[in-house]
Amino acid sequence: MDQPVWITGAGGLIGSHLIRAAATLSPGRTVRALSRADLDLTDRPAVDRAFREAPPAGIIHCAAMSKSVACQRDPVLAWAANVDVTAHLAGLAVEIPFFLLSTDMVFDGRVGNYDESAPLNPLSVYGVTKQEAERVVLRNPCHTVVRTSLTGGRSPTGDRGFNEEMRRAWAAGRTLDLFVDEFRCPLPAVVTARAIWQLYLRNQPGLYHLAGSQRLSRWEIGQLVAARCPELTPRMAPGSLRNYSGAPRSPDTSLNCAKIQRLLDFPLPGLADWLGTHPGEYF
């Protein structure tokens, strides 16, 4: 029997799209979808047993405690989920490809257009845990870290994509306060999955940035999503980080993706262009 590629976080946005895309983008390759219900990644003996009984050909590790507010509230749990679990899996996968999905939140956002050589300075607990997870993974020259930005699309639970969060808020009658001076490079999950599979098959491990080619403010992103769901009567107001008093936020974590772009057979799209060419796709 062929050894499968493990995909953790199968119930999440990127993980679920990687699984759906596998048959088309990686034909002949089997995948093992691992959600929390399938395997508790914090249960080390159970993970060891699963690895021993059916060794994978590689691991794409999407599972994480990724809600920044939750990480800020419980940094011990965030460290266990994002660092300890990653270190354990990477240790098991010492001789096979291992991909860690990381984040643009490892940067402080003071500059923007970050490439892979830019210095890290995370402002949040989530960013700190991902920085440490990256360090652990990249100790192995056969392993890969892919930093992503905001990812959108349809998730199995209906609440993982940034667009889904906005739609749920509008459906509940809430008005969203969206910053005009906080910038990201959003990318649909279907494109993210395509790029990750191509990178996996290229077998060129290392550190890569993977995001949309368009730098957008939260306010601009909201306008694009709102245009897709007029039936919800979207309500939003422009806000500013100058008036924000919550946990630290990075103002501009836009990513330079030239390195990964050279390995892909398609151009990474900006969100506005992608929405314009995929009018019937959920977003």
- Other Cβ atoms less than 10 A from the Cβ of 263: the count is 13
Residue 263 covered by a domain: yes
**CA 244 to each of CA 163, 179, 214, 247: distance values in angstroms, whole numbers, following the listed order:** 22, 9, 25, 9
Give the global pTM.
0.95
With 60 as the cut, is the pLDDT of residue 1 above it? Answer: no
pLDDT at position 263: 98
Which residues constitute the domain of residue 194? 5-160+186-214+254-277
Beta bridge partners of 177: 237
With 60 as the cut, is the pLDDT of residue 16 above it? Answer: yes
**CA 147 to each of CA 8, 36, 173, 188, 231: distance values in angstroms, whole numbers, following the listed order:** 16, 22, 33, 14, 34
CATH number at residue 141: 3.40.50.720
Say if CB 259 and CB 116 are below 8 A apart.
Answer: yes
Count up the domains in the chain and report the number: 1
With 60 as the cut, is the pLDDT of residue 186 above it? Answer: yes
Residue 236 covered by a domain: no
Confidence band, pLDDT 50/70/90 cuts, at residue 12: very high
180 — phi, psi (to 5°)? -90, -10
Confidence band, pLDDT 50/70/90 cuts, at residue 2: confident
Confidence band, pLDDT 50/70/90 cuts, at residue 11: very high
Residue 233 covered by a domain: no
Residue 181 covered by a domain: no
The arithmetic mean of pLDDT across residues 127-156, rounded, is 97
pLDDT tens, residue by residue, 130-142: 999 999 999 999 9
Q: How many residues does the chain have?
A: 283
Average pLDDT across the chain, whole number: 96
Residue 109 covered by a domain: yes
pLDDT tens, residue by residue, 23-79: 887 777 899 999 999 999 999 999 999 999 999 999 999 999 999 999 999 999 999
Confidence band, pLDDT 50/70/90 cuts, at residue 114: very high
* 245: region left, alpha or beta (phi > 0 left; psi from -120 to 50 alpha): alpha
Residue 94 covered by a domain: yes
Residue 39 covered by a domain: yes
